[in-house]
Amino acid sequence: MKTFKPAKSRSLNALRKNSVSVAIAAAASLAIGMGSAAAAEQRLEVLHSWVSDSEVKAVNVIKERLSTQQVTWVDSAVGGMSGSNAQQALRARVTAGDPPGAMQFLGHEAMIWADQGVLSNLNQDASANHWDQVVPDAVKPFLKHGNDWVAVPVNMHRQNWLWANAKAFEKAGVTPPRSWDELFAAGDKLRAAGYIPLAISDEPWQIGIVFDAILIDLYGADFYKKTAIDLDEKALSSPEMVKVFDTLRKVRGLADANFPGRDWAVATGMVINGKAAMQFMGDWAKGEFLAKGLKPGADFLCLETPGKEVSFQFVMDTFGMFKVDNTGTQKAQVALADTTMDKATQHDFSLIKGSIPARTDVDISDYDSCGIKSAEDRATAEKNGSLVGALTHGFASQSEFASVFQDVVSQFFVTDMSSQDAVDLLVQSINNAR
């Protein structure tokens, strides 16, 4: 008699086989899906000079927003020398035919690379998102090459700030100076009260910040434009320029004997701990005060340098995208541009960095009083024509001329050179560099 297996058993075996097949197919499908997701994830190398704690925290805002668009920010940070080291690294990369996907620029740097035809055109993105309507006209020469957008504004710093220890001012019985003569008078009172009036260094760029402020404060934006931007020889050799150097000499009298070699953050620390009363520095110094838990108005004062009109000397970080053949990298570059110009990104980045958004339509009502004042003064300066690029950080003259200013000004500050001799040397050196 033949023995037969029950039909039910045969069905169960078939079902088991089918289940295994389905499981294998599902696993394969999942693997393919994961592979597709991994392929969709784009990587974008960004070369930059942001290495301090607050800078790194600010950059993380952009990194995190990019990740939501499946773009991974590949960090290539090169600190030091106010971005010069990063530029040197960039030149080596471009020469080797291996540019990064994006680069942080300062001053005229983006336009120099645009002249060489290596930056991507961002017009389509700029037009679709109305960049022209939300960015001040004064900064567009650092973003547009002719009619083409080649750089994206990350933020705007104000350079011409005077930071002060509130308790020192109160103890010495001084009020915020409204002129440079008042500032020098305040310095005498502060020294009598036991404070170093001004924390500064012999570093050329720190001295340059003071020079820039004097240049616009004494004679206004028109004189600043003629000298720092147009390099007008008549203005450069004028009695007014001699007066600018005379004023800088008086600033030297506010410093202590130990100013050589002092880092800017150390100088800010002297104001924080009450050893010194004042410092001329851009609004990146605010981060140092805030990091110590100090509050504007109560513990420290953010004062515009004492000019006859409201002025705003800007320093701006930008991103430029290098031309590449890889379509994935191209898409990642567009994502970086969109993310950077997003209102929320602009708000959150500058809130940490100490700057203000480059966009003028971002709500910053939750910023501290210094940030709000900065935005208000920018709007005023834009209306009266005194929103100008900072000479010291490369936003006025081209770098070869800016370096001449810095060399002459720093040499004057640390020697007994006369003001007239400084003016003569400045004019001669600029003419030699033309």
Does residue 298 share a domain with residue 194?
Answer: yes
Of 374, 396, 412, which marks where a domain is finished? Answer: 374
Does residue 415 share a domain with residue 370?
Answer: no
Task: Tell which residue, 160, 157, 169, has the closest CA to residue 298.
Answer: 169
Does residue 405 share a domain with residue 339?
Answer: no
Does residue 423 share a domain with residue 307?
Answer: yes
- Residue 22 CA to residue 13 CA, distance in Å, equals 14
Does residue 183 share a domain with residue 259?
Answer: yes
Average pLDDT over residues 124-139: 96
Residue 272 lies in a domain: yes
> Which pLDDT score is estimated for 36?
42
Does residue 323 share a domain with residue 351?
Answer: yes
Tell me phi and psi for residue 330, to 5 degrees.
-60, -45
16 has pLDDT over 50:
no
Q: How many domains is the chain built from?
A: 2
Residue 30 lies in a domain: no
Amino acid sitting at position 251: V
Average pLDDT over residues 76-100: 77
Does residue 399 share a domain with residue 332?
Answer: no
The pLDDT confidence band at residue 325, using thresholds 50, 70 and 90, is very high
Residue 18 lies in a domain: no
39 has pLDDT over 90:
no
Does residue 199 share a domain with residue 103?
Answer: no
Question: What is the domain extent for residue 106?
Answer: 43-157+315-374
Average pLDDT over residues 345-362: 95
CATH number at residue 135: 3.40.190.10
Residue 31 lies in a domain: no
Residue 2 lies in a domain: no
- Residue 253 CA to residue 264 CA, distance in Å, equals 18
The model carries a pTM of 0.86
Residue 113 lies in a domain: yes
Residue 290 lies in a domain: yes
Residue 151 lies in a domain: yes
Does residue 257 share a domain with residue 210?
Answer: yes
- In contact, 197 and 383? CB cutoff 8 Å: no
Share of the chain above pLDDT 90, in %: 78
Average pLDDT over residues 135-144: 96
80 has pLDDT over 60:
yes
Does residue 127 share a domain with residue 172?
Answer: no
Does residue 362 share a domain with residue 250?
Answer: no
The pLDDT confidence band at residue 40, using thresholds 50, 70 and 90, is low
pLDDT in tens, 241-292: 999 999 999 999 999 999 999 999 899 999 999 999 999 999 989 988 988 8
Does residue 338 share a domain with residue 328?
Answer: yes
